[in-house]
Structure 1
Amino acid sequence: MKSDIKLSSDAWAILEARSHDPFSFLGRHSAGDGMILRAFKPRAERMWILPVDGDPIAMTRIAGTDFFEGHWHHVNFGHPYRFRLENSAGHSWEEEDVYRFLPLLGEMDLHLIGEGNHFEKYRIMGAHVCEHDGVSGVGFAVWAPSAARVSVVGNFNHWDGREHQMRVRGSSGVWELFIPALCEGEVYKFEIRAQNGSVFQKADPYAQQMELRPATASVVHNRFVYQWGDAAWMNGRVEHQAADRPMSIYEVHLGSWRRPDSDDSCYLDYRELAHQLVEYCQWMGFTHIELMPVTEHPFDGSWGYQTVGYFAPTSRFGSPDDFRYFVDYCHRHGIGVFLDWVPAHFPKDAHGLARFDGTPLYEHEDPRLGEHKDWGTYIFNFGRNEVRNFLIASALFWLDEYHLDGLRVDAVASMLYLDYSREEGEWIPNKYGGRENLEAVEFLKQFNCLVHERFPGAVTMAEESTSWPMVSRPTWLGGLGFTMKWNMGWMNDTLSYFENDPIYRSYHHHALTFSMVYAFTENFILPFSHDEVVHGKGSMPQKMPGDDWQKFANLRLLYAYMYTHPGKKLLFNGLEFGQWPEWNYNASLSWDQAQFMPHRGLQLMMRDMNHLYRDVPALHEVDFDGAGFQWIDCNDSGHSVLSFIRRDKNGGQVVIVLNLTPVPREGYRLGLPVSGHYDEILNTDAEVYGGANIGNAGGVVAEEHGWMDQPYSAELVLPPLSCLMFRPEV
């Protein structure tokens, strides 16, 4: 055995941590009539090869370097082999040679990645516990096409980017490495050397677990551990999330919904939240929970909307398996789970996606295309195959790995328009000279098609505030393909109306009736979300006019109008009991208020309203078709009274009357569609809700007296600021 090698350019590239192909120098290689084996071990003083058969063979340290080598003539021992190392203190250990393993990713994987069509990239990119050539370890893969060198760094190599330099897979821009002996829980990052020579560390874009902020490293997660128990829910999801089923969504910010009583600065974990939230939602009658983003994010104040970890549930509330438990527990108790998902933009944090390989990789280079000035974030480059693939893989990942029932896509309007929140000269038109972001439109269509194809029954929801047509129509009809769209117009008009003093409401009557002009042009969700109770907008009680009694009577009326209007429902946590303070992401909801009137009354009304909405088919079966709705009188602006009929698929119906002023009205004649007795099944003025208990003694009888284009009618007592609901006896 001898050593007469002089340091080559490949060796210097290893020493200086700038190698794009460390396998060409390190590991085992044929050398003339024998073989040569090289290793780079900065923390070793002595080193031996341990063949699968035979005695240890000492390796020679190349003077003045951390390279070790062995060169054997007429000897060619095979795989596997191991190393024994000894440091200057005499401590010894054994390990595998990282650079003896063949690549993990196949040519088909790389081909699909380049096309942008590898929709299960989350199974191969990032870090995965696996067995390779009979050895357990972790396979790493990252896309960084402009990088000069990429290394995996962590505690296992003292964060030294020289030790585990990765191989680049040709022109794909994918770097990969298998590191033996690593396991679940290992903390790591990718150290990248840019073409300009700068060196920096990045979290793994495909990491399935990340450290708890303010730490920013990625964590190896073994996705095969959790055992699901929600088969009954998943098998029935197509049916119970159909368009004719009730959908009453409770929007939740996990960090502020409820905190431990002993310490408001701490969070409940995913498992505690599962038990408490499910119990509460079952009592309240909500069908679904929608989570504000739990995708990992560095800044609490972004509420999750500035995402760094597109494949990692936030560690604030526990591990990925804890989050799986949360979803599993919800499903086993009949509650669906939606997730806010943010493909429109991402933050500029140094450890995240921004300038990932030293160039604008995930974002556009031109700030007129690539930057949201309002939010201080970057915009995804939807025209790049790998970027579209990254986002679609993220969406499918949450539905696949976490059994989520749907995704609410944030800020869709900002994706659709190139001039969104931009002045003239601050944006670049598309190739036809228009303002539409054609690449984003195609991305959204592809996203929706793949979700609906691969996960039957899953729901996609667009937060879209413009008049873009056919957002919730199939792509084969020219639509964007979403299941539903948030009705932001209804929300704005309705709140604007209710914020008026009742004395002026007759002049704004059209604000409540206008929604029926377009109510069936989309599949709408009616949202009162977190956006309405932040940034100085005030809480819901604060928005309402009048004294405290009138404020809560208005809220009961507002929510009853929402639940009787066509469309699925969404209510943000805390709105159901009308907490006084504006929502604060950094504190628990004011649950103490919910124990006392008038908050308790509002909460009880919402509980009954939810259960009524679920139990009465006319309130939910025909939400997206005009056959489910008929005005009785939409023109009584003088009294500020609205009345209408909701019908189910079999002709069953309920009659709804809204008195939108604090004036009680006796002898108010209302047209009715059928004869007989009508049960008063809802009166928001009931005493138990905090009202004055004015009503119709449980029901009315229709007279053969045509009125309001209806064949029958009855004289009603309309309580002040109230909603009444009547159902004809069968």
Structure 2
Amino acid sequence: MSGFPGHEVITALVSGRYADPFSILGMHLTSEGLEIRALLPDASAVTLIESKTGRKITELNCEDDRGFFSVLLSRRKKPFRYQFAVTWHEHTYIIEDPYRFGPLLQDIDSWLLAEGTHLRPYERLGAHPDVLDGVEGMRFAVWAPNAQRVSVVGQFNFWDGRRHPMRQRRENGIWELFLPAVTIGQLYKYEIIDCNGETRLKADPYAFEAQMRPETASVTRGIPAIADGDPARNAANGRHQPISIYEVHLGSWRRHVENNYWLSYGELAQQLVDYVKYMGFTHLELLPINEHPFDGSWGYQPLGIYAPTRRFGTPEDFRLFIDAAHQAGINVLLDWVPGHFPGDEFGLAKFDGTSLYEYADPREGLHQDWNTLIYNYGRNEVRNYLAGNALFWLERYGIDGLRVDAVASMIYRDYSRPAGQWVPNHYGGNENLEAIAFLRYTNHTVGTQRDGAITVAEESTSFSGVTAPPDSGGLGFHYKWNMGWMNDTLRYMQLDPVHRKYHHHQMTFSMVYAYSENFVLPLSHDEVVHGKQSILNRMPGDVWQKFANLRAYYGFMWGHPGKKLLFMGNEFAQWKEWNHDVSLDWHLLDDTDSMHSGVQRLVRDLNQCYRQHSPLYDLDYRYDGFEWLVADDAENSVFAFLRRDSHGNEMIVVSNFTPVPRLGYRIGIPTPGRWREVLNTDSQYYNGSNMGNSGELHSEQVPSHHREHSLLLTVPPLATIFLAREA
């Protein structure tokens, strides 16, 4: 029989170790006619059926009792559509043959994927519902260039790697297969015989849904529909807009009291969204919701970066949660982690037996701090996997921006590594040129493909041009966390007020470099864990002074140039450090007259004041939007500065970081007129001592601070006041 496979080939096929199943299985035109071959383990009988007529043509011969069947149709020369009627354990099923379908990946997609420039690789790789030749099913594709064999395994084939080996596209290392009758919601993985002959069971890197941990299978799921953009949301991300971000870990913001179980996406869509709107925040930032195996990583060690975590519901539920935030006028940012991934066996590590996604050299590919693996940014397919993921969340879920985690660890090869334990770049330097190119490419892609979307860098060094455009040599982020401001000001605030005059510069130094980048001022989750204590507990003094210090600090923060970010719990001054395993201490707000309720009211009013007064945000990133009025009064620990918008409106911010009231404190001002006290952190409403300026002040033509006009103020103890110039 012409072209009939030998016993060795059948043995390799049956044992799941034949790399080219399409050369054997399916329909083949031979010199003697059409030959149809099938591998159907445990089948007792197989009948060939013509799909068009439903007519039974002939029985297939069992050539090997391990499940290899074939038949030669010597009188037929023209290929036709067919099905099998297969008898398993006395039950007969009509099935389509996966090996009668041609290649799936188009040439242009193959080229772009190999080149690393496919904007949406998730549309071609992974599992996708499809209809081929009138047959419904699921097409699968996975990149594993060094594997000896790859099979799709799942609920639909008894997790048996022999049944559905995939076609290898040798030009790009992608394996593909269309499986008829596989539907949405079924579990699957890839069974890979790697380059060393070892069998590995891997989750799909491009899966849109995953099992609830600790289970690790992928779940077949249709790709989410493209989310419409919105001009108002786009505008709300702009540099000239008020941006006040509430940073949230969904698993511990609030939990069910009766069993400490998580809220669902649906419950969060009501409770969290309503709360964020009530508090006046403009943006909601989520700690990573990509699927991750370990709760204690807070999502920062993701393995299913295309799948919203199943902890809180389905992908559809997550989409509705995002929609609810948008309907409430809240933009949503997502923490995104392209810097590293855990080495769990079911994930990306040694995917095909080689260091496929990670650098092979542990001096490049292992994060010693976190015991995680580092992506190989120089590999086209890895760059495509990550950059495509950034666009995926923006396009398919309507996420308004990404906060990129641990950028410094990506762009420096010697990050947290002693001498001799890192590999220089080819110029001999310590910069990871591949990672820098990847970030520029990703930010450029986001900027050109998703109007109004932003990226925010958590970058803790003085790397130049983080928020400069890529074509100007920058990394291309829209904003950067100001870690220097956070560290300096927190160190200052932790000091006893009697010592603060010796560290005055820590509150003013940030203005030296304030316009080098587009900054966000962050008081993030990192500041309330690992023994650092809560923000409140880092304040000095007795209970009243702790709260007063905190209120004054928040006032200074909201007045200072830069967008704002506050981690959950900080807005009502939680005593304890954040614990990801339990809810925030909402009981602290049961008493509406408590100090905690006072801080919550202050943060709400700060947000409202911030949004209502454009001098506090309009010119955040221009020199003419800020002017020091009092920068050198270290003895009294008083700071005063003026904020200005593009229309000439002005706001004065004055802070007193001692418990001594400053009565009759004169400050020079550039513009005379009437000024109104629009916010005072010492107000009785916030549980302060209620000292202030009786609502209104008038300037005097009395020189002070090198200016011809001045204001005579009462500056309350441990407080910040905002004064708006009246027209």
Is TM > 0.5 for Structure 1 vs Structure 2?
yes
Aligned to 1:652: 649
- CA separation of 1:260/1:374 partners in 2, compared to 1, >3 Å: closer, same or farther? same
Equivalent runs, 1:105-504 vs 2, <5 Å: 105-223=105-223, 231=228, 234-264=230-260, 266-504=261-499
Aligned-partner residue type, residue 75 of structure 2: H
Contact 1:3 / 1:62 at 8 angstroms: preserved in 2? Answer: no
Contact 2:226 / 2:396 at 8 angstroms: preserved in 1? Answer: no
Deviation at 1:563, TM superposition (A): 0.5
Secondary structure of the structure 1 residue equivalent to 2:499: helix
Aligned with 2:588 (options 593, 611, 620): 593
Aligned to 1:510: 505
Equivalent runs, 1:513-528 vs 2, <5 Å: 513-528=508-523
Q: Distance in 2 between matches of 1:434 and 1:674?
A: 51
Contact 1:188 / 1:217 at 8 angstroms: preserved in 2? Answer: yes
Q: Distance in 2 between matches of 1:55 and 1:697?
A: 95
Aligned-partner residue type, residue 61 of structure 1: C
Secondary structure of the structure 2 residue equivalent to 1:491: helix
Secondary structure of the structure 2 residue equivalent to 1:600: helix
Deviation at 1:709, TM superposition (A): 2.1
Write out per-residue CA displacement over residues 254-296 of structure 1, whole angstroms, 9 at most, x where no aligned residue. Answer: 00011123321x1111121111111111110000001000011
Secondary structure of the structure 2 residue equivalent to 1:514: helix
1:631 and 2:628 are equivalent in the alignment? yes
Deviation at 1:682, TM superposition (A): 0.6
- CA separation of 1:35/1:723 partners in 2, compared to 1, >3 Å: closer, same or farther? same
Secondary structure of the structure 1 residue equivalent to 2:572: coil
Secondary structure of the structure 2 residue equivalent to 1:588: coil
Aligned to 2:63: 62
Aligned to 2:564: 569
Q: Which region of structure 1 is more displaced relative to structure 2, 24-33 or 122-131?
A: 24-33
Q: Distance in 2 between matches of 1:448 and 1:18?
A: 42
Write out per-residue CA displacement over residues 44-68 of structure 1, whole angstroms, 9 at most, x where no aligned residue. Answer: 1111111133334211112432111
Q: Distance in 1 between matches of 2:708 and 2:92?
A: 95
Write out per-residue CA displacement over residues 123-162 of structure 1, whole angstroms, 9 at most, x where no aligned residue. Answer: 0100001111111000000000000000000011111000
Q: Distance in 2 between matches of 1:31 and 1:389?
A: 41
Write out per-residue CA displacement over residues 569-597 of structure 1, whole angstroms, 9 at most, x where no aligned residue. Answer: 01001100011110000101111112331
- CA separation of 1:662/1:50 partners in 2, compared to 1, >3 Å: closer, same or farther? same
Q: Distance in 1 between matches of 2:435 and 2:64?
A: 57
1:87 and 2:84 are equivalent in the alignment? no
Q: Which region of structure 1 is more displaced relative to structure 2, 604-613 or 663-672?
A: 663-672
Secondary structure of the structure 1 residue equivalent to 2:571: coil
Q: Distance in 2 between matches of 1:649 and 1:241?
A: 18
Secondary structure of the structure 1 residue equivalent to 2:86: strand
Contact 2:2 / 2:32 at 8 angstroms: preserved in 1? Answer: no
Q: Distance in 2 between matches of 1:677 and 1:45?
A: 95
Aligned-partner residue type, residue 34 of structure 1: G
1:621 and 2:618 are equivalent in the alignment? yes
Secondary structure of the structure 2 residue equivalent to 1:642: strand
Q: Which runs of 5+ in 1 are unaligned?
A: none
Q: Distance in 2 between matches of 1:237 and 1:534?
A: 32
Aligned-partner residue type, residue 62 of structure 1: E
Q: Distance in 1 between matches of 2:362 and 2:195?
A: 22
Contact 2:667 / 2:705 at 8 angstroms: preserved in 1? Answer: yes
Q: Distance in 2 between matches of 1:636 and 1:722?
A: 16
Q: Distance in 2 between matches of 1:722 and 1:242?
A: 30
Q: Which region of structure 1 is more displaced relative to structure 2, 352-361 or 696-705?
A: 696-705
Aligned to 1:11: 10
Deviation at 1:605, TM superposition (A): 0.3
Aligned with 1:602 (options 595, 599, 603): 599
Aligned to 1:669: 666
Secondary structure of the structure 1 residue equivalent to 2:171: helix
Q: Distance in 1 between matches of 2:28 and 2:204?
A: 31
Aligned-partner residue type, residue 73 of structure 2: W
Aligned-partner residue type, residue 36 of structure 2: L
Q: Distance in 2 between matches of 1:624 and 1:516?
A: 11
Q: Distance in 1 between matches of 2:318 and 2:571?
A: 25
Q: Distance in 2 between matches of 1:227 and 1:105?
A: 22
Deviation at 1:3, TM superposition (A): 12
Q: Distance in 2 between matches of 1:467 and 1:473?
A: 13
Number of residues of Structure 1 aligned to a counterpart in Structure 2: 723
Deviation at 1:632, TM superposition (A): 0.3
Deviation at 1:74, TM superposition (A): 1.4
Aligned to 2:41: 42
Write out per-residue CA displacement over residues 346-394 of structure 1, whole angstroms, 9 at most, x where no aligned residue. Answer: 1001111111111100011111111101100011111111111111011
Deviation at 1:219, TM superposition (A): 0.4
Q: Distance in 2 between matches of 1:6 and 1:648?
A: 79
Secondary structure of the structure 1 residue equivalent to 2:391: helix
Contact 2:666 / 2:710 at 8 angstroms: preserved in 1? Answer: yes
Secondary structure of the structure 2 residue equivalent to 1:727: strand
Contact 1:3 / 1:69 at 8 angstroms: preserved in 2? Answer: no
Aligned-partner residue type, residue 524 of structure 1: F
- CA separation of 1:302/1:538 partners in 2, compared to 1, >3 Å: closer, same or farther? same
Secondary structure of the structure 2 residue equivalent to 1:705: coil
Aligned with 2:537 (options 513, 519, 542): 542
- CA separation of 1:4/1:575 partners in 2, compared to 1, >3 Å: closer, same or farther? closer
Write out per-residue CA displacement over residues 227-277 of structure 1, whole angstroms, 9 at most, x where no aligned residue. Answer: 96xx5x62333322211011000000000011123321x111112111111
Q: Distance in 1 between matches of 2:361 and 2:713?
A: 64
Write out per-residue CA displacement over residues 320-365 of structure 1, whole angstroms, 9 at most, x where no aligned residue. Answer: 1111111111111110000000011110011111111111000111
Q: Distance in 2 between matches of 1:551 and 1:691?
A: 11
Secondary structure of the structure 1 residue equivalent to 2:322: helix
Q: Distance in 2 between matches of 1:562 and 1:43?
A: 70
Q: Which region of structure 1 is more displaced relative to structure 2, 68-77 or 715-724?
A: 68-77
Secondary structure of the structure 1 residue equivalent to 2:598: helix
- CA separation of 1:391/1:63 partners in 2, compared to 1, >3 Å: closer, same or farther? closer
Deviation at 1:714, TM superposition (A): 2.3
Deviant stretches of 4+, over 6 Å: none
Secondary structure of the structure 2 residue equivalent to 1:592: helix
Q: Distance in 2 between matches of 1:290 and 1:150?
A: 39
Aligned-partner residue type, residue 385 of structure 1: N
Contact 2:638 / 2:655 at 8 angstroms: preserved in 1? Answer: yes
Paired-residue identity, %: 51
Q: Distance in 1 between matches of 2:532 and 2:704?
A: 42
Aligned-partner residue type, residue 671 of structure 1: G
Aligned-partner residue type, residue 195 of structure 1: C
- CA separation of 1:524/1:212 partners in 2, compared to 1, >3 Å: closer, same or farther? same
Secondary structure of the structure 2 residue equivalent to 1:635: strand
Deviation at 1:657, TM superposition (A): 0.6
Q: Which runs of 5+ in 2 are unaligned?
A: none
Q: Distance in 2 between matches of 1:425 and 1:675?
A: 62
Please, what TM-score do these two structures have when normalized by structure 2? 0.98
Aligned to 1:20: 19
Contact 1:3 / 1:70 at 8 angstroms: preserved in 2? Answer: no
Deviation at 1:200, TM superposition (A): 1.1
Q: Distance in 2 between matches of 1:545 and 1:343?
A: 38
Contact 1:142 / 1:174 at 8 angstroms: preserved in 2? Answer: yes
Secondary structure of the structure 2 residue equivalent to 1:62: strand
